[in-house]
Structure 1
Amino acid sequence: MRIVRFCQNGPNVPVTINFEEIDDRIARILEEKGPRIGKELSFDMPDVPVLALWQACNRSRSLLISHFASYYLRFDITREDQVRLSPSILRDFLSFTLFGLPGQRYQMIERQGSLSNMHREISREKIGVAQDVMKQLFVSLGREVRSQLCAFIAGDLSYFLAHNEMREHSASGEMVRGSDIDIIIILSESLPDDIQGRIDGEMMALKNFYLRHPKHRHEIDFICKRKSVMERQFQYSDIHDKIASKIAYESMFLGGSLTLYMEVRDAMTRTGVDQLIEADFAHALKDRKHAMKALLDAPGDAIDAETRSLFYFSQERVEFS
């Protein structure tokens, strides 16, 4: 089947797509090189638009397909706060979906294990950076203050999905190493206000150091808030509350008072916000299935911008609130 569709980066430039030819090329590449993730197939076939490649791979009845990501909730604030799953369909295809031929089952198992371990090790390395940051902060603050705060991480790191590919930091233009490191610091009500200001200042200094130092080049995002603010956000009433709640839901303890951290976790259960998040996840999962079907069924000459936007996030990250 030969069809004409429009390339992603130029909607007015027609691109001829021959899916039979793409299928044959994919099979030859897999036969020669073994199981490949979407990113590697895209590198091997740079002339094929990535959406067309995704369609070819997922329409195929002859390929083995293995998804090895863990999925979590995110809110797309540029699409009326729509709930979506992360990784996006695009990132899932490029980084977390392995394709092989029927005779390559054992190679698939071995390669998937290797790729999963790679993401786990990168995540562990970045978690180690977050721990180093908090150690420096704790030394500066002293034991008494440390016992009245807790810190946790969220996002890719908490699901062991981090990557290390260099990318441009949007605010500074600096090149940074892969996934950002999200740190949330919760303060007890008994700490004076000047402590929060001091923490903000020291964390900003550490953020700039790890961003610009050539040995590190990590993007660290952080927010410091009172426990009462965190618990108030569990009302789940607006987009800022929802983002803050889902970050706490997916969190991994980083340091400080474990008791305080468990009080935050208990508050999620007490308020029922964990059930609201799980309901939104189920909704996002249903939407993901519909989006994939829409993309698979879309004829190549009729994929408009709205349909194509199902493939990736309009904004790949959302600021903390």
Structure 2
Amino acid sequence: MSTVEITGILGEEGPLTGSELVERVGLEPLDLWRLCTTSPNILVHRLGRRFLRLDRAVAGYARLSPSIRREFLTYTLLDLVGRENRLEQRATDTTAEIHRISLAKRRLAAQTMETVVENLAEAAVVHDTACFILAGDITYDMAHRVPRPERSTGKLVLGSDLDIVIVTADDFDPSLREILDDTIYQKKHFLLISPSYREEIDYLIKDLATVRRQVTFDAFE
């Protein structure tokens, strides 16, 4: 596939997302990304924002998110030079859709945690001694609904995780923590297997002592 053929497709059908263009040309995403970003005839418009993730699994302990591949497939629009107005309109529409997806996922995460707490016998204690924090793509208005396999089960989920961090008081009852953990896990399983949702909750429970130690950044953990 040559750049001339790619510009021909964009001329007929653009603007397209990176994913839409991949479907039409059949190239690997990163190969197509290189061709598009180095061509003087192709407009490349990136949506949303980038943020730094701390990750102990990578060299240097940090990586940019979204990845180049995900950014190209989901958050990049492509068209021919000279058609900026068409590209800007598609960018406005696509950005609005990304924001709608992010808002829906934030609401689902919040409602799920509210249901978890309300159904606990010691709901009042949890309200007073635990803080539920949303994190990840959904908080940056960068959520998507591109189907992907969930790591542990292989089941397809709809895009971005619902990332949640639960911080508890240092004297939080260990038995209550276990009950809270089990209840959230049951909700996680329900949202994962339910055809109406197919969403993945990714959560951590930690106490304030752990948070205090982590925010000193003495070690990467």
TM-score, length-scaled by structure 1: 0.64
User: How big is the shift at 1:234?
Assistant: 0.8
Q: Which amino acid aligns with 1:45?
A: V
Secondary structure class of the residue paired with 1:65: strand
SS in 2 for 1:171: coil
Matched-pair identity in % = 31
- 1:1-321 alignment, distance < 5 Å: 22-46=2-26, 48-141=27-120, 142-240=123-221
Secondary structure of 1:239's match? Answer: coil
- SS of aligned partner of 1:183: strand
Q: Distance in 1 between matches of 2:133 and 2:55?
A: 23
Q: Are the counterparts in 2 of residues 162 and 179 from structure 1 also a CA contact under 8 Å?
A: yes
Q: Which amino acid in structure 2 is aligned with residue 28 of structure 1?
A: G
The answer to whether the Cα contact below 8 Å between 1:65 and 1:100 also exists between their aligned partners in 2 is: yes
Contact conserved, 1:180 with 1:219, CA < 8 A, in 2?
A: yes
- Give the whole-Å Cα distance in 2 for the aligned partners of 1:224 and 1:77: 19
CA deviations over 1:228-266 (Å, ceiling 9, x no partner): 2111111213332xxxxxxxxxxxxxxxxxxxxxxxxxx
For residues 18-46 of structure 1, the C-alpha deviation after alignment (integer angstroms, 9 at most, x for no partner) is: xxx62211221111112112111111100
Contact 1:69–1:92, Cα closer than 8 Å, also in 2: no
After TM superposition, give the deviation of residue 51 of structure 1 in Å: 2.6
Is there any run of 5+ residues in structure 2 with no aligned partner, and where?
A: none
Deviation digits for residues 162-185 of structure 1, max 9, x if unmatched?
111222111012221111111111
| RMSD of Structure 2 on Structure 1 (CA) | 1.7
Distance 1:79 1:132 in 2: 34
Whether the 8 Å contact between 2:48 and 2:141 is mirrored in structure 1 is: no
**1:158 counterpart letter in structure 2:** T
Q: Is the 8 A contact 1:34 1:104 kept in 2?
A: no
Determine if contact 1:119/1:163 at 8 Å carries over to the other structure.
Answer: yes
**d(CA) in 2 for partners of 1:157 and 1:81?**
25
Find the aligned partners of 1:64 and 1:58 in 2 and give their Cα distance.
Answer: 8
1:245 matched residue in structure 2? none
Structure number with the bigger relative contact order (C-alpha 8 A, sep ≥ 6) is: 1
Bigger radius of gyration: 1
Q: Distance in 1 between matches of 2:35 and 2:190?
A: 44
Asked whether the 8 Å contact 1:71–1:85 carries over to 2, the reply is yes
Counterpart-to-counterpart distance in 2, 1:74 and 1:156:
11
Question: What is the alpha-carbon distance in structure 2 between the residues aligned to residue 65 and residue 167 of structure 1?
Answer: 25
The C-alpha deviation readout for 1:69-89, integer Å capped at 9, x for no partner, is: 311112454433442210111
Shift of 1:199: 0.9
Deviation at 1:190, TM superposition (A): 4.1
CA contact (8 A) 2:102 2:143 kept: yes
Q: Contact (CA 8 Å) 2:29, 2:72: kept in 1 or not? A: no
Count matched residues.
219
- SS of structure 1 residue aligned to 2:100: helix
| Partner Cα distance (1:75, 1:213) in 2 | 31
Helix, strand or coil for the counterpart of 1:118?
helix
For 2:103, give the aligned amino acid. Answer: R
